[in-house]
Amino acid sequence: MSTNPHDLTVAYSKFTTSRPQLLQFYHIHRHISNHFEPALIPGARERFTSMYSMHLWFNSGGRLGTNAVSVDGGFPSFIPEEVKEIKDPFARALAQRIQRLPVKLQVGFSESCIMSSCVKPRFQRDTNPAVLLHCFDSSCLEWRRTYPLLEDAAVETWAIDILGWGFSDLERLPPCDAASKRYHLYQLWRTHIQRPMILVGPSLGAAVAIDFAVNFPEAVDKLILIGASVHVEGTGLLTKLPKFLAYAGVSLLKSLPLRLFANLLAFDDISLSTCFDWTNVGRLHCLLPWWEDATVNYMLSGGYNVVNQIKQVNKRVLIIWGECDNIVSNKLAVPPGRWARKGGIDRSRSKTLVFNSSCMLHKLQRLHSELPDATIRQIPDCGHLPHVEKPEMVARLIADFALSGTRKEEQNPIVLNSAGEKNTSSFIC
């Protein structure tokens, strides 16, 4: 989830002006599972090979279901024990698939190998893979509801933990500043992925994606930015904090009340019980012993400032935006009339605009105006994290964007065997 200090400050001001609505929202108790009649999704079948847990995903009428069954039921030993208390079946299922891969990284004056956490795809395709980043101070579990849908859509998908967050082994703590995060992602890509990526970044992850695409354009095919928080100029005055105050602030950052508050802001409409459970999912990585040191290191380093890099992006970009985003949407709004032209769209620029009928011209994003080749998709009735709140829509948008321009015969995935090698047989989803 996004707990960027600047975002929370802006969001808190909105919270205080709309407290009655949020308090009413806070007491909503809807058990969404009652509205779904489970039916097995076609696609949870032979591609789930014996080396992996078999997850059976349920849905009704194309909607995301509420049940997931894991055959082996085991979690990796490096995941905190509190994972067993999480009720969200999608989080539990994806947590069982997290693994650590060796990634070389410079630590001090020597090169070290960081065992880096991620979720690897079950199949390999001839087309470029989607690589999912996450928000500020989060983990790959953020993609728990969208990841299985992307697999069902035959998109080769990685979910990566950004250095300093997630479940990587940081016992020998490396620098966790923006440059180190960039280099770590590059080394992971160069070692394990080795093809241009459709790089997907939500919230602060969008800044990570832009920074990476500008510095390593050969590694990126396209960008997808979700609820992008890219106009915040780093961590600001937090860089000047004495270390003891920085550690005090970081301790507050992982506290249950603050995380719960951030979830209430991030999501448009969830029950209180779901909010508590998702809060536990979002702070699970904070329970690792090196989390505080890594987060303080990032905070004091200055964080991400990509304001001057946005216009340097020369890739196709898809911007996904939740209509009810309480965290960044107002910051990104273009001043009224800036892009107003005859017909309501600036036709002098090579851009594509696709809006929900309820979206007004004044909600055109500043980010869109700064990117040379961008498309916006707005998701109605959705908050800051559409990939958690509206996974069906996000999965469809990512799949369409990732597979656009590919020949039909290229879209058949290749199943990987237990050694991670290609099988000779293939199948069509």
81-329+361-403 has which CATH code?
3.40.50.1820
The predicted model gives 363-384 an average pLDDT of 83
Cα→Cα distances 72→54, 58, 396, Å: 8, 18, 29
- What count of other Cβ atoms lies within 10 Å of the Cβ of residue 260? 18
More confident residue, 363 or 401: 401
The confidence score (pLDDT) of residue 145 equals 96
Whether the model pTM is above 0.75: no
- Which token pair is 114? 């960081």
Q: Which residue has the tokens 């001043």?
A: 335
The predicted model gives 115-139 an average pLDDT of 94
How far from chain centre, in Å, is Cα 114? 21
Catalytically annotated residue among 180, 325, 329, 387: 325
More confident residue, 308 or 107: 308
Given a cut of 80, whether residue 392 has pLDDT beyond it is yes
Q: Could you tell me the pLDDT band of residue 411, with boundaries at 50, 70 and 90?
A: very low
Given a cut of 90, whether residue 408 has pLDDT beyond it is no
The confidence score (pLDDT) of residue 270 equals 80
Q: Could you tell me the pLDDT band of residue 4, with boundaries at 50, 70 and 90?
A: low
Given a cut of 80, whether residue 424 has pLDDT beyond it is no
Q: Which residue has the tokens 């995380």?
A: 259
Mean pLDDT of the chain: 75
The confidence score (pLDDT) of residue 232 equals 87
Sign of CA dihedral 65, 71, 77, 82: positive
The confidence score (pLDDT) of residue 353 equals 45
The confidence score (pLDDT) of residue 272 equals 87
* H-run or E-run covering 248: helix 243-253
Side chain identity at residue 92, one-letter code: R
The predicted model gives 379-394 an average pLDDT of 92
Looking only at the bridges linking them, the beta strands covering 197-202 and 220-226 are parallel
The confidence score (pLDDT) of residue 238 equals 87
Distance CA 257, CA 109 (A): 40
The confidence score (pLDDT) of residue 236 equals 86
More confident residue, 136 or 59: 136
More confident residue, 407 or 293: 293
Given a cut of 80, whether residue 223 has pLDDT beyond it is yes
Catalytically annotated residue among 116, 203, 229, 301: 203
- What count of other Cβ atoms lies within 10 Å of the Cβ of residue 10? 18
Cα→Cα distances 218→71, 121, 330, 405, Å: 39, 21, 33, 19
Given a cut of 90, whether residue 108 has pLDDT beyond it is no
pLDDT digits 0-9 by tens, 167-184? 999 998 899 999 999 999
Q: What is the CA radius of gyration of the chain?
A: 21
- Give yes or no: 203 in active site: yes
Q: Could you tell me the pLDDT band of residue 21, with boundaries at 50, 70 and 90?
A: very low
The confidence score (pLDDT) of residue 73 equals 59
More confident residue, 270 or 219: 219
The confidence score (pLDDT) of residue 260 equals 87
Strand partners, 106: 111
Side chain identity at residue 260, one-letter code: L
pLDDT digits 0-9 by tens, 36-55? 323 323 333 333 332 233 33
The confidence score (pLDDT) of residue 354 equals 46
- Give yes or no: 426 in active site: no
Distance CA 17, CA 138 (A): 28
The confidence score (pLDDT) of residue 322 equals 87
Given a cut of 50, whether residue 33 has pLDDT beyond it is no
Q: Tell me, what DSSP letter sits at residue 270? A: -
The predicted model gives 9-33 an average pLDDT of 36
More confident residue, 299 or 5: 299
**Domain extents for the chain?**
81-329+361-403
- Give yes or no: 325 in active site: yes
Given a cut of 80, whether residue 419 has pLDDT beyond it is no
pLDDT digits 0-9 by tens, 311-367? 999 999 999 988 888 777 544 444 333 343 323 333 333 344 444 433 333 344 578
